[in-house]
A = this chain, B = another copy of it.
């Protein structure tokens, strides 16, 4: 398998990307090949400095970089020699099996949606976040921002995609899949939630666990929680802020520390044909390493094809 990495994306790139690479290679199976996309001189120099084993590495030079605040569509169109544009070209043409970047999130999303095909039948791809549960378990919430306005059939597909991901990547055999809502009973919620409830209830591809409320997000009442990308994005960012709350209040707590999403790695775009993993701008070495581990796992488990099969039922 071949994993591609945008070495220029993120506030601390390419240094932290190289350090993450070194961490990853220490444990990586020999059959993984890595394509490092970015400024060839910088990458080679850092690889030498950090004594990274270059056996399974190939550097693909990219003379441009899409910066964090550039307009995604415009930048992708105008900077065809950027690391992100070249990465997506290599992914689309089968030269790599997954693509990772901590760079311009918008450009990564645009690239994922337009360079790579959506899985057959997918109306809207989505992005998810893992949610630390207070009992130590890990849940999944989606969509967390790709689709600000959603329809019931979108959420119904998110439930299937989330379930497959939770099974294969989080290792949850029968993921309890719930609708994020304002009350527990059927019939609660806005028009979207009310209509979605009926679809989820009839959906044989998931293990529907009914509605969960805001108070249940951090409790272990469901493994997969679906909502529109507007609500999900606000929940995600509020959850992320709990790490900052712990820091500012000088609270030393393992659970609050789990909200340090920067160290986790990135979020995959679900519903597209190949793994695309988007990292935080402030990703450090551990985040880069974890994104490579996730890409490897997604390829090994054939997550995208399994998702496609579930959606085709």
Task: Report chain B residues within 8 Å CB of A193.
Answer: 148, 230
How would residues 218 to 249 of chain A score, 1 for a CB under 8 Å from any chain B CB and 0 otherwise?
Answer: 11000000011111011111111110110011
Task: Report chain B residues within 8 Å CB of A145.
Answer: 182
Interface pair A233/B214, CB less than 8 Å apart: yes
Range, interface on chain A:
35 or more
Asked if A217 is at the interface of the complex by the 8 Å CB criterion, the answer is yes
Q: Is the interface of A mostly helix, strand, loop or mixed?
A: helix
* Known A145-B182, A238-B218: A251·B248 in contact at CB below 8 Å: no
* CB nearest neighbor in B for A241: B215
Interface pair A255/B249, CB less than 8 Å apart: yes
* Known A215-B238, A218-B238, A234-B182: A149·B190 in contact at CB below 8 Å: yes
Interface pair B241/A214, CB less than 8 Å apart: yes
Interface pair A248/B214, CB less than 8 Å apart: no
Asked if A300 is at the interface of the complex by the 8 Å CB criterion, the answer is no
Min distance, Cβ A220 to any Cβ of chain B, angstroms: 11
Asked if A134 is at the interface of the complex by the 8 Å CB criterion, the answer is yes
Asked if A45 is at the interface of the complex by the 8 Å CB criterion, the answer is no
Question: How many copies of this chain sit in the oligomeric assembly?
Answer: 2
Asked if A189 is at the interface of the complex by the 8 Å CB criterion, the answer is yes
Kindly state the separation between the CA atoms of A190 and B233 in the bound complex, as whole angstroms.
Answer: 11
Cβ-defined partner of A245 (8 Å) among B228, B230, B255: B255
Asked if A180 is at the interface of the complex by the 8 Å CB criterion, the answer is yes
Interface pair A241/B228, CB less than 8 Å apart: no
Task: Report chain B residues within 8 Å CB of A234.
Answer: 180, 182, 213-214, 217, 227, 231, 235
Kindly state the separation between the CA atoms of A213 and B148 in the bound complex, as whole angstroms.
Answer: 14
Task: Report chain B residues within 8 Å CB of A190.
Answer: 148-149, 228-230
In the complex, 26 of the A-B residue pairs with CB atoms within 8 angstroms, ordered by the A residue number, are A134-B245, A145-B182, A148-B191, A148-B193, A149-B191, A182-B230, A190-B228, A190-B230, A213-B234, A213-B237, A214-B234, A214-B236, A214-B239, A214-B240, A214-B241, A215-B244, A217-B234, A217-B238, A217-B241, A218-B238, A218-B241, A218-B245, A227-B234, A234-B235, A242-B242, A251-B253
With A238-B239, A249-B256, A251-B256 known, 10 other A-B pairs at CB within 8 A are A148-B189, A149-B190, A214-B233, A214-B234, A216-B241, A235-B238, A238-B238, A245-B255, A249-B253, A249-B255
Interface residues of A (CB under 8 A from B): 134, 145, 148-149, 180, 182, 189-191, 193, 213-219, 227-231, 233-242, 244-245, 248-249, 251, 253, 255-256
